[in-house]
Amino acid sequence: MSDEPFDKEEFVAYFRDEAEELLQQIDGDLLRLEEFVDSGQADPEIVNSLFRALHTIKGSSGMLGFTEVQGLAHKLENLCDLLRKERMPLSEGSVEFLFSGRDFLTDLVQAAIGQSAPPSGLNEFTGRLDQFVAIYNETSNVIEGKAPDRSEGATPVGSEPMNEAEIAAFEAEIERMLAEAAATAAPTAPATPAESAAAPSAATAKAVPARGNGESADAKKGSAQGKRSSLAQTIRVDIDRLDALLNLVGELVINRTRISDIATTLGRLMGDRALNASIGLIGPLSKDLADSAALLARTTNEIQESIMKVRMVPIGQVFDRFPRTVRDVAKARGKEVQLQISGADTDLDKTIVDEVGEPLMHLLRNCVDHGIEAPDERERQGKPRMGTISLNAYHEGNQIIIEISDDGGGINLDKVRAKAIKNGLIGTEDRLTDRELIELIFTPGFSTAEEVSDVSGRGVGMDVVKRNITKLKGIFDVDSAPGQGTRFTIKLPLTLAIIQALLVRVVDELYAIPLDSVIESQRVEMPDVRTVHGSEVITLRGQVVPLLRIADFFELGGERDPEKVMIVIVGLQGRQVGLVVDSFEGEQEIVIKPLSDVVGRIPGISGATILGNGSISLIIDVHSLVSDAYAGGKVTRAEFSGV
Amino acid sequence: MMAEQREEKKQQYSGETFQVVSFRLGGEEYGVDISQVQEIIRMVEITHVPRAPRFMEGVINLRGQLIPIIDLRTRFGMNRADHTKSTRIIVTDIGSKRVGIVVDSVSEVLNIPVENVEDAPEMVAGIGTEYIQGVGKVDTRLIILLDLSKVITSEEKQALDSVDEAAE
C-alpha cells in the first residue's frame, strides 16, 4: 500500500467526491423507483442508472483497495440486476432494502476514507442480501423447472435485526414470493393488491428535476448521453485554488481603485493652469493613464465576476438529499408528505451552499414532524390526506431567497405561550404580540412537541438554525397562520467574499459598514436626539430608534459634536439602530479579509479590508452591535412593540 | 578521510548551534530562531483594533495580507516606548500563524553554540519563564532566547480570556 506509484490521497479525495455524487444520484433513483411500486414494474431507465452508479462505485473503490465498499456495491449491483432482468418484482420491500443498502454503502465509504467507524450490523445485512438474491435466483429456477431444495425453515434466523420494519417487510416479501412462485407459473409476480392496500406508501416524495445535468434530474431516454456530455464540460477544482485566485482578484480590485484614484488626482492637477504651463507634457500622459485605468477597471470587474461565477454552484446540490429525508421522516412518523422543489438551479457561492444544508434539513424535518398533521387529522379538517411541503429558491437582487412552507397546522401560539410560561421565559400576565410569540421558538431549549421524538423535538433546533443562518450573514423569518401552515424564509447573500460597504470615519479611523444592512444615513440636529432611561434615541417616521455611538462602543475617545450627529441607520430583522459616526466617506466595494485568530474575537468587528490607498479599514459587525444595543437593556422591550 | 571527519564534525557542530536574529527591547537583548523569522520591516502605519487586548497593537497591510502586530514591550510588562527610526517589525511565521512583533531595534544574526546556552534563570525581568528557551552568552553579551510559539499561544489564550471578561 505504501509504495503506491500514484498520489493516493488525491485519488481518495476524488473518490470521495465522486462517491458522494453517485450516492446522491442513487437516492434520487430509488425515490423515483418507489413511484413505480404500484405497477410492480420498474422503469428500466432508472434501474440502469442505478446499476451504472453502483458499478462505478464498485470500480473505483476496487482500484483504491476499499474491498468492503467494493463487495457491497457488487452485491447491490446483483440485486439491481435481478430487477433489471425482471426476475424480482418491484415492491416496497425491495425498494426499502435497496435504501438500506445505499445507507450501508454510504457508511462504508465514510469508513473507508477514514471519516467514521465502520457501520455495525453490516454482516447481517449482507447475509440477508445474499439470501434475497439467492432466493430470487432460485425462484427463477423453479419457474424454469428446477426443483427447489430450500424450504422456509432453511432461512437462518439473523441475529439482532437492524430495522424491524425493514426486515419484516423483507421477510414478508420472501414468503409471499415463495408462495406465489409455487402457485403460479407466471414469470414475474406483481405486487399483490392486498399488500399495497395494507401498507400504503406512507410518503411519496416527489423531487422536481433538480438540474439539467445528471440522470437523477432527468430519467428520460437519452439521459446517459446527456450525462456524458455534461461530464465533458465540467472539471473538478480544489476550492482552495479558487480561493487563492479570488484573493488575487481582490488584490487586483484594490489596485484598480488605487490607479483610478491616481488618475483622478492627476486629472485635477491638470486643471491647475500654472502647473500645466510648466509641465505641459503630462497632459497627454494623464489622459492615457485615465483611459488605461478605465480599461483596467472594466477588465477587473469582468474577471471578478467570472471568478465569482466559477464559485457559484446550483443550490440543487443541497436540495438533492432532501426528498429522501422527508420520505424517511414521514414514514417514521406515519405521515403522508410530498415535497415540491423549485428553483434548484439557483446559483449560490459554494461556501454558502456547504453551510446551508444543515439548517434547511432541520427546517424540513420540523415541517414534517411538527407542521404536517397526521393523515386522519388532515381528513377531518377537510385537507387532502397528503401534506405538501414546498421548497423554493430564487434570486432577488444581491440575495438568494429560500422559502420552505407547509400546509400543516401552523405554529400553535397557545402552546408556545403555555410552554414559555412553564419554562419561565415569560410571566402569565405578559401580553405578547403573535410575532413576539413566534420569536420565542428561537430560544435555546424551546420545543412544543408533546413527546420527544428522534426526529426533532429535542429542543435543540430552531435556535441553532437561526444562529447558523445569522453566521452566514443571512436573515431568517417565520410566518405562520393557524390551520393553514408555516413559512420559513431565509435570505442569504450570494457571496461572502466581496461586498458593498459604506465607509464612515470615526475619530481617526475608517470603518466599513456592510451596505446590505444599512437602511439610510442622515444628519440629525442635537435637539432631535432624546434620551430614554439615559440612552440616546431618535424618532424616525414614528418609530423610536436607539443610537449607538461607535466611538464609545470601541472606546476611541474623541470629542462630540454639540450641534448634530451623523447617523447610519442599520436594521436587522425589524430592529433598527442608529450608529453615530463622525462623517460619511462614500460607498465602496470591499474584499472581506478575516482578522487573524491571533487577534481573537473582537466584539463589533467582523473582519477587515484593504482600501485603495493601502490602508486598512475594519468592518463593523452590524449583527453584534444591534444585539448589543437591544440586549444591553438600554432600551426596554415595551418601547419597541411597534416594531 | 580527514576531510570527511572534519566535515562530519562541522555538520554536528552546526546542528547544535542556535542561529538567531537578535533584537533589543528595553535594556535587554533577545534572540528568536531565524527559521521563524519571515522578514524584518520598518515601522508602517498600524491600524488600531478597538477593544483588542492591550498588547495587540493593531493590524498592518503587508502586501495585501493582514498581519496582527504585537507590542512585545506591553506583552512583557515593560513600559510602552515611542516608535523611533530604529523601531522594527519582525514578521514571524509560527506554524500557520503570521504575526508581527514590534521591537526597539534589530541587531544582527548570531550563531550561538549550544554549550554557550544556559537554562533560563527563574525570573527574568517580569517575563514568564515559559517563553524563554535559554540564555545565550556571546562574549560579554547575554541573549535571551525566546520561544515565539509559546509567546503567541499564551497571547491567544490571554486574548480570549480578556474577550470573555469583556463579555461578562
CB contact under 8 A, B61 and A610: yes
Give pLDDT, residue A145: 43
Query: What is the rounded CA–CA span in Å between residue A643 and residue A629?
Result: 15
Beta-carbon separation of A598 and B61 below 8 A: no
> Can you name the residues that pair with A571 across neighbouring β-strands?
A576
The CA distance from A410 to A389, in Å, is: 12
| Residues in chain A, total | 643
Q: How many CB atoms within 10 Å of residue A9?
A: 9
d(CA A576, CA A629): 9
Q: Kindly state the cell numbers that stand for A230.
A: 455534461
CB contact under 8 A, B52 and A250: no
Could A600 and B53 be called an inter-chain contact, meaning their C-beta atoms sit closer than 8 Å? yes
Q: Do A597 and B163 lie within an 8 Å CB cutoff?
A: no
Whole-angstrom Cα distance, residue A107 to residue A119? 6
Average pLDDT over residues A558-582: 87
Nearest residue on chain A to B57, alpha-carbon basis: A599
Contacts of A246 in chain B (CB under 8 A): none
Query: What region, left, alpha or beta, does residue A4 occupy, with left being phi > 0 and alpha being psi -120 to 50 degrees?
Result: beta
Select from A538, A596, A526, A588 the least CA-distant residue to A568.
Answer: A538
- pLDDT given for residue B60 in this prediction: 92
Of A596, A602, A610, the CB nearest to B51: A602
CB contact under 8 A, A598 and B50: no
* Each residue's pLDDT tens digit, A258-313: 787 777 777 777 666 666 555 666 667 777 788 888 888 788 777 877 777 787 88
pLDDT at A133: 77
C-alpha to C-alpha distances, A458 to A15, A443, A471, A476, nearest whole angstrom: 35, 13, 22, 21
Q: Which residues of A touch B72 (CB under 8 A)?
A: none
pLDDT recorded at residue A4: 45
User: Is A248:A382 a contact under the CB 8 Å cutoff?
Assistant: no
pLDDT exceeds cutoff 80 at A110: yes
Which residue of chain B comes nearest to A556, CA vs CA?
Answer: B50
Cβ neighbours around A234 below 10 Å, total: 8
According to DSSP, residue A529 is labeled -
Contacts of A92 (CB under 8 A, 6+ apart): A34, A37, A169, A191, A195, A196, A199, A201
Distance from CA of B161 to the nearest CA of A (A): 9
SS3 call for B21: strand
Active site residue A366: yes
Chain A positions contacting chain B at CB under 8 Å are: 247, 250-251, 254, 509, 553-556, 593-605, 608, 610, 614-618
* Partner-chain contact A615 B47, CB within 8 Å: yes
Contact: B50, A556; criterion CB under 8 Å: yes
Residues of chain A in contact with residue B155, where contact means CB-CB under 8 angstroms, are: 598
Q: What is the pLDDT of residue B89?
A: 94
A390 phi and psi angles, rounded to 5 deg: -115, 140
Q: Is A77 a catalytic residue?
A: yes
Q: What is the dotted CATH code of the domain comprising A8-200?
A: 1.20.120.160
**Rounded distance, CA B158 to CA B151, Å?**
10
Residue of B nearest to A255 (CA): B64
Summarised one tens digit per residue, pLDDT across range B4-53 is 544 444 444 445 788 899 999 888 899 998 988 989 999 988 998 988 88
Q: Residue A604: its chain B contacts at CB < 8 A?
A: 50-51
> Is the pTM for the entire model greater than 0.80?
no
Least confident of A224-228, A482-486, A610-614: A224-228
For every residue of A119-164, DSSP letters joined together read PTTHHHHHHHHHHHHHHHHHHHHHHTTPPP---GGGSPPPSS-S-H
Interchain CB contact of B49 with A (< 8 Å): yes
Residues on chain B touching A618 (C-beta within 8 angstroms): 47, 49-50
Unique residue bearing C-alpha cell 461586498? A499
CA-to-CA separations, A435 to A359, A366, A573, A628, B152, in angstroms, rounded: 21, 19, 12, 21, 47
Select from B38, B41, B45, B49 the residue whose CB has the most chain A CBs within 10 Å, as the one to mutate to test that interface.
Answer: B49
pLDDT, tens digit, 9 for 90 and up, residues A159-204: 344 455 655 666 666 656 555 544 543 333 333 343 333 333 333 3
CA nearest to A248 within chain B: B64
Give me the pLDDT at residue B62, please. Answer: 84
| Selected residue of A613, A616, A620, A628 to mutate for chain B interface (largest B Cβ count, 10 A) | A616
The distance of B84 to chain A (nearest Cα, Å) reads 21
Q: How far is it, in rounded angstroms, from Cα A199 to Cα A46?
A: 24
- Min Cα separation B98/chain A (Å): 8
Higher pLDDT, B54 or B161: B54
pLDDT of residue A578: 92
Domains of chain B listed by start with CATH number: 20-159 (2.40.50.180)
How many helices (H) and strands (E) would you count in chain A?
20, 18
Amino acid residing at B95: G
Question: CB–CB of B59 and A251 under 8 A?
Answer: no
Residue B154 clears pLDDT 80, i.e. is over it = no
What confidence tier does A462 reach under pLDDT thresholds 50, 70, 90? Answer: confident
C-alpha cell at A294: 478605465
Mean pLDDT of B111-131: 72
Residue A555 falls in which region: left (phi positive, over 0), alpha (psi -120 to 50) or beta = left
Dihedral, CA of residue A270, residue A275, residue A281 and residue A286, to nearest 10: -20
The whole-angstrom distance between B51's CA and the closest CA on chain A is 6
Domain boundaries, chain A: 8-200, 239-313, 315-493, 498-640
The model's pLDDT over A516-560, given as tens digits with 9 standing for 90+, comes to 889 999 999 988 888 888 888 998 888 889 999 999 888 888 888
**Which residues of B fall within a CB distance of 8 Å from A254?**
64
Mean pLDDT (chain A, rounded): 75
The answer to whether residues A156 and A106 touch, using CB atoms and an 8 Å cutoff, is no
How distant is the Cα of B5 from the closest Cα of chain A, in angstroms?
A: 35
Set of chain A residues whose Cβ sits within 8 Å of the Cβ of B47 = 509, 608, 615-618
Cross-chain residue pair B47–A509, CB shorter than 8 Å: yes
Alpha-carbon distance A605 to nearest alpha carbon in chain B (angstroms): 9
For the segment A81-108, what is each residue's pLDDT rounded down to a tens digit? 888 777 777 777 778 888 888 888 888 8
Which chain B residues contact residue A610 at CB under 8 A? 61, 64, 66
- Check if CATH label 3.40.720.10 holds for domain A315-493: no
* SS3 readout for A203-233: CCCCCCCCCCCCCCCCCCCCHHHHHHHHHHC
Closest to A324 measured CA to CA, from A599, A52, A96: A96
Region A568-582: mean pLDDT is 86
The pLDDT tens digits for B59-81 are 998 877 789 999 888 888 788 88
- Supply the pLDDT for residue A454: 44
Burial per residue of B51-82, b for 16 or more beta-carbon CB atoms within 10 angstroms, e otherwise: bbbebbbbbbbbeeebbbbbbbbbbbebeeee
Q: Mind telling me how many Å the CA of A62 is from chain B's nearest CA?
A: 36
Share of residues in chain A with pLDDT > 90 (%)? 9
Which of A55-64, A297-306, A324-333 bottoms out in mean pLDDT, i.e. has the lowest? A297-306
Are the Cβ atoms of A603 and B67 closer than 8 angstroms? no
Residue B88 pLDDT greater than 90, yes or no: yes
Choose the weakest-confidence range: A32-36, A138-142, A371-375, A427-431.
Answer: A138-142
Mark yes or no for CB contact A597/B52 under 8 Å: no
Angle CA B86–A598–A589, to nearest 5: 90
**Which chain A residues have a beta carbon less than 8 Å from that of B152?**
598
Confirm or reject CATH 2.40.50.180 for domain A498-640, answering yes or no. yes
